[in-house]
Structure 1
């Protein structure tokens, strides 16, 4: 098994981050030793979902649980810039824990990093670092990544993110 230590350079290679990448992922860059390139799009593993580990499952649930309760305020434009920034910081920290602790095979790892790249791009928007995307657009990116995640990763008990809760 390989550690989920594909980080900033892989994410940049995937072309999914702005130049102001998430600090929590940048810290991990010194651990990146994989030479292969990242895949261009999410795909299944021979028609099956990719295996997950406890660190990944716990981390993705945490990210979902951080975003979910904020959705009504985001949707109704009631979240203040400092609240968006705080949410971005919390999600970035959780992504750092996922990257540091999960163990997946190299192909599952590559797929995971496409999801993490989308979330990281979203946190850039949330934090106000990507004005073109915007804070609301950043939340949408993270929401979509959380929608896509269970379609490609085997995560028993995953609860879909929803505006309805």
Structure 2
């Protein structure tokens, strides 16, 4: 049986990322504020092996592309390859990750941020936003690391 994350993210991949990150409970008739990832009663959320593997692969992709982007040396092909790799890992997580529902909901928020960064990195928000997209994915991975119990996780060093 697929996890609720699989169903939600499969549908979400077809929706604008802003919709994915917006709070469904917001009823202010204006722009919905993005949800914030929360800890599990002050503790990090438990993860499983597929989530650990997918997030580690995304971190590796960010660690490769971020220095190029920051130095202004990343080319369109670098950003496209980055976006393809991160998207591949998101798909892997969606297909294989099985978390308890509350952890799943928190991961949903992180994945929404990651997908927003992928869109920018792939030029869907203009060429000038590509580097910022890589930074957005890095920030989302850092949020993941501070909220999910991923042993030996190291935060991504962001450019100053």
Same fold (TM over 0.5): yes
2:99 equivalent to 1:104:
yes
Unaligned residue ranges in structure 2 (runs of 5+):
26-33
How many residue pairs match? The answer is 146
Q: Deviations over 1:14-56 (max 9, x none)?
A: 83569xxxxxxxxxxxxxxxxxx58922101111111100000
2:150 equivalent to 1:150:
no
Task: Measure the CA separation in 2 of the matches of 1:9 and 1:46.
Answer: 29
2:119 equivalent to 1:128:
no
2:75 equivalent to 1:80:
yes
User: What's the counterpart of residue 34 of structure 1?
Assistant: none
Instruction: Assess if the C-alpha contact under 8 Å between 2:65 and 2:134 holds in 1.
Output: no
* Equivalent of residue 93 in structure 1, options 68, 88, 92: 88
Change (3 A) 1:163 1:75: same
Question: RMSD over aligned Cα, in angstroms?
Answer: 2.7
Q: How far 1:150 sits from its partner (Å)?
A: 1.3
Task: Measure the CA separation in 2 of the matches of 1:58 and 1:151.
Answer: 17
2:42 equivalent to 1:40:
no
Instruction: Assess if the C-alpha contact under 8 Å between 1:14 and 1:114 holds in 2.
Output: no
Unaligned residue ranges in structure 1 (runs of 5+):
19-36
Instruction: Assess if the C-alpha contact under 8 Å between 2:66 and 2:135 holds in 1.
Output: no
Q: Which has the higher contact order (CA 8 A, sep 6+)?
A: 1
2:109 equivalent to 1:114:
yes
Change (3 A) 1:154 1:76: same
Change (3 A) 1:16 1:159: farther
Instruction: Assess if the C-alpha contact under 8 Å between 2:65 and 2:79 holds in 1.
Output: no
Instruction: Assess if the C-alpha contact under 8 Å between 2:17 and 2:116 holds in 1.
Output: no
Task: Measure the CA separation in 2 of the matches of 1:49 and 1:148.
Answer: 11
* Equivalent of residue 15 in structure 1, options 9, 12, 18: 18
Q: Deviations over 1:104-159 (max 9, x none)?
A: 01110010011111110000011111228710110111010111111110111112
Change (3 A) 1:77 1:133: closer
